[in-house]
Amino acid sequence: MTCDTSPAKLPTIAASLSGVALIGLGLVLGGTASAQAPGTEDPNNWPQYHRTSNAWRYSPLDQINKANVGKLKVAWIHQGGDITHGLQETPIVIEGVVYSISANNHVSAIDAKTGREIWSYQPKLDPIVKKVLFSPYSRGVAVGKGKVFIGTVDGRGIALDQKTGKEVWQTQLTDFANCHGCNFTSPPVIAGDVLTFGSTAGELATAGKIFGVNADTGAKLWEFNTIKQDPKSWPEETAIYGGGGAWMPGTYDAETDTVFYGTGNPGKDFVGTDRPGDNLYTDTMLALAPKTGNVKWYRQEIKHDVWDYDAPYEALLFKRDGKDLLVHLNKSGFVFVLDKNNGNIENIWRLSETINFVKDIDKKTGELIDRVDPEIGKSTLICPWAGGARSWNAGAYSPKTGLWYTAANEICGALTPVMQKTDPKDYGSGHIGSEDFGKLQLVPGHIPARIDARDPITGERKWTFELKAPSCSTVLATAGDLVFAGDPLGTIRAFDAESGQVLWSFNTGSGMRGGIVTYAVDGKQYILAPSGWGSYMALLLPSVFPDLRNVPSASTLIAFTLED
Amino acid sequence: MIGVELIAMTRITVTACIAFLIFGGLPANTHCQEAKMPDLKDPKVIEAGHEVFRSKHCSYCHGSDGNGGVNLTKRDLSDPKYVFQAITEGREKNGLRMPAWGGVLTDEQIWEAVAFVMTLTRPVK
């Protein structure tokens, strides 16, 4: 497998180096090299959700590597307190400070060497959050311009002073009380001077939106409706309840001044008969201009979705053979390889082995071939299930191996769509057109849960590691030739990136749902793992993975490092 | 009337409930049920509760037969007041969360759901 680019061999923090000054020099040089290979920028920090804008979740740090990962020890532990729905964040780490968010939007700044809290902040939330579907968790914060930015579970954007945690501004963005609980469960994106926020929607009887906000003042600049106001796409009043939304973090590509967002499913999830049309812009990769919210291009991946195949997952960027590519998995189990500049399809490949909702997707046009639309009142077995061939936990790409490391599941769901009335008071029940998300079923002859190492463009598989239950934890790849992944039973593993051999593991005590990161402070590298089981996976998966019923929840950050 | 406790609520009406609130203290976490608790074994009440269970997607988490990801069939839910309070106020336990349905469902609907849920469980021996 040919890598996209060979990263410049940066001064590494080899364990054999004994001089602190020399190590410090190595770190400084690594951070200021003028021609940074993609994915290697700002090596000591984890400054944004996926570490770098290409969403690789790759770190060039290699002090912890294949030879010594077996010697990792716990450096410190931080308890988030409220364990409701676990700890789902990817923490941000900048210049020796961890910025963490736990349940009910509790934000902490933590010393990255000791785990001691520097400051904390928690907004007073609207009492309605107790009733809404998507609460009280958050997948992270954004840090930049001297501020820590959060999107709250009651639909606000809030900016805090990075040093003190004092509130700088707050802005109510969603019509929280009237949109069935539409809110933010992910961090905003810093796109120059603009902050973009993507709301939840999908299962809510509302139309999800993306907001552009002045990062310095909090003033709302624009609002993009992910439900296209077009009667051909959404006849009659269906657009009012269209769903969609963009509930995962987007990414900002400074090269083209574009913010990329994948959008959520249309509503009602499983009944499409009253919304004939393609239902734009649901299940769509959007390229937006951050200053205006204007659409530069879009690629709808699942037209007229009736299976709940949201498409908000990470958008990995590559340069390959002179092309700028965007690689994007959605819940359907298909991975779309698009032209980053116009959304044209370059390839489509299957992460899931058991797809049956369509016969295929046309690789030239993107049209769904021989789709299976479940009938009202009848049970139809659909694969993958509504939870997807993978959940929102992102994979990671290593330019050293050229491989994308991602969780994958083979689970089907027996769906029985039903007609459903919309109740304006409903916050917690959802607007889905079914009594459940489908009865889960495993597929004989197929590994139900695994970690795959794949070529991101062709899908060719290099290795697979079988798990006892679906991994819902976001992966980390490092220049130490390591891949870190966690599972819902609480085990974090370090894999040999080339072979998939497990080189180290540790029981974190609770299932893992958040993003594993790495950083360096004063010449020492740390692996930081959120541990705390929760989310709707905790509620839904136990029906076919009964071991998960007994997993205790938590809200714990565990930092690992090497012995001195 | 200080310290009067709400014990058997089967015949307590709204008026009496208000009297307690004005003149007496209520134990913490006690919900003042506005609707009478119906006959929880009445098949019509149970069927109405099944409809609530279906239409409000309790099945998401509990499964249509109670045997879903959050399994009700193995819990001791024999105390109707506890079940009513759980549905009304929501639950956060072991990191899992059930939304609060008070103010979204009427108390009558919640009692109906109680009746259905209690058919799913078995009493602790």
Judging by beta carbons within 10 Å of its beta carbon (0-12, 13-18, 19+), is residue A5 exposed, middle or buried?
A: middle
Q: Do A429 and B55 touch (CB under 8 A)?
A: yes
CA closest to A552 among chain B residues: B94
Q: Does A436 score more than 90 pLDDT?
A: no
Q: What is the least distance, in Å, from the CA of A116 to any CA of chain B? A: 24
Question: Which residues of chain A have a CB within 8 Å of the CB of B99?
Answer: 130-133, 135, 427-428
Residue B1 has which token pair? 């009337």
Q: Do A429 and B57 touch (CB under 8 A)?
A: yes
Q: Does A55 score more than 90 pLDDT?
A: yes
Q: Do B100 and A549 touch (CB under 8 A)?
A: no
* Contact residues for A555 (Cβ-Cβ < 8 A; gap 6+): A79, A80, A81, A82, A83, A86, A87, A102, A103, A532
CA closest to B56 among chain A residues: A429
**Tens digits of residue pLDDT in A313-356:** 999 999 999 999 999 999 999 999 999 999 999 999 999 999 99
Calculate what percentage of chain A has a pLDDT beyond 70. 93
If pLDDT is split at 50, 70 and 90, which confidence band does A4 have?
very low
Q: CB count, 10 Å around CB of A54?
A: 26
Q: Do A428 and B100 touch (CB under 8 A)?
A: yes
**Tens digits of residue pLDDT in A274-293:** 899 999 999 999 999 999 99
Name residue, tokens 């991994």: A471
**Tens digits of residue pLDDT in B9-25:** 334 334 433 444 443 34
Question: What one-character DSSP code corresponds to residue A88?
Answer: -
CA distances from A63 to A46, A50, A72, A105, A192 (A): 16, 21, 11, 33, 32
Q: Select from A125, A129, A130 the residue whose CB has the most chain B CBs within 10 Å, as the one to mutate to test that interface.
A: A130
Q: Do A543 and B63 touch (CB under 8 A)?
A: yes
Q: Do B100 and A133 touch (CB under 8 A)?
A: no
**Tens digits of residue pLDDT in A194-214:** 999 999 999 998 999 999 999
Q: If residue A524 lies in a helix (H) or strand (E), which one and from where to where?
A: strand A524-531
* Contact residues for A458 (Cβ-Cβ < 8 A; gap 6+): A347, A349
Q: Do A539 and B70 touch (CB under 8 A)?
A: yes
Q: Do B55 and A428 touch (CB under 8 A)?
A: no
Name beta bridge partners: A318: A325
**Contact call for residues A314 and A395 (beta carbons, < 8 A):** yes
* Contact residues for B36 (Cβ-Cβ < 8 A; gap 6+): B10, B11, B12, B13
Q: Do B71 and A421 touch (CB under 8 A)?
A: no
Q: Select from A137, A533, A539 the residue whose CB has the most chain B CBs within 10 Å, as the one to mutate to test that interface.
A: A539
pLDDT of residue A425: 65
Q: What is the least distance, in Å, from the CA of B125 to any CA of chain A? A: 22
**Tens digits of residue pLDDT in A56-65:** 999 999 999 9
CA closest to A533 among chain B residues: B95
Q: What average pLDDT does the segment A374-386 reach?
A: 96
Q: If residue A485 lies in a helix (H) or strand (E), which one and from where to where?
A: strand A482-486
Question: Which residues of chain A have a CB within 8 Å of the CB of B54?
Answer: 418, 435
Q: If residue A189 lies in a helix (H) or strand (E), which one and from where to where?
A: strand A189-191
Q: What is the least distance, in Å, from the CA of A539 to any CA of chain B? A: 5
Q: What are phi and psi of A200, to 5 degrees?
A: -75, 160
pLDDT of residue B94: 83
Q: CB pairs below 8 Å between A and B: how many?
A: 93
Question: Which residues of chain A have a CB within 8 Å of the CB of B52?
Answer: none
Q: Do B63 and A429 touch (CB under 8 A)?
A: no
**Contact call for residues A105 and A153 (beta carbons, < 8 A):** yes
Q: Do A534 and B96 touch (CB under 8 A)?
A: yes
pLDDT of residue A468: 95
Distance CA A42, CA A27 (A): 10
Distance CA A474, CA A391 (A): 10
Higher per-residue confidence, A198 vs B55: A198
Of B57, B64, B104, which is closest to A425 when you measure between CB atoms? B104
CA closest to A438 among chain B residues: B60
Evaluate the omega torsion of the peptide bond into residue A166 and state whether it is cis, within 30 degrees of 0.
Answer: no
Distance CA A524, CA A14 (A): 10
Q: Do A430 and B59 touch (CB under 8 A)?
A: no
Question: Which residues of chain B have a CB within 8 Å of the CB of A183?
Answer: none
Question: Which residues of chain B have a CB within 8 Å of the CB of A131?
Answer: 90, 99-101, 103-104
Give chain B's largest Cα–Cα span.
44
pLDDT of residue A22: 36
Q: Do A435 and B103 touch (CB under 8 A)?
A: no
Going by C-alpha positions, the residue among A206, A58, A82 that lies closest to residue A132 is A206
Q: Mean pLDDT of all residues in chain A?
A: 92
If pLDDT is split at 50, 70 and 90, which confidence band does A424 have?
low
pLDDT of residue B123: 52
Q: What is the least distance, in Å, from the CA of A433 to any CA of chain B? A: 9
Q: Does A15 score more than 80 pLDDT?
A: no
If pLDDT is split at 50, 70 and 90, which confidence band does B66 have?
confident
CA closest to A436 among chain B residues: B60
Q: If residue B43 lies in a helix (H) or strand (E), which one and from where to where?
A: helix B43-55
**Tens digits of residue pLDDT in A144-199:** 999 999 999 999 999 999 999 999 999 999 999 899 899 999 999 999 999 999 99
pLDDT of residue A426: 74
Q: Does B85 score more than 60 pLDDT?
A: yes
pLDDT of residue A35: 56
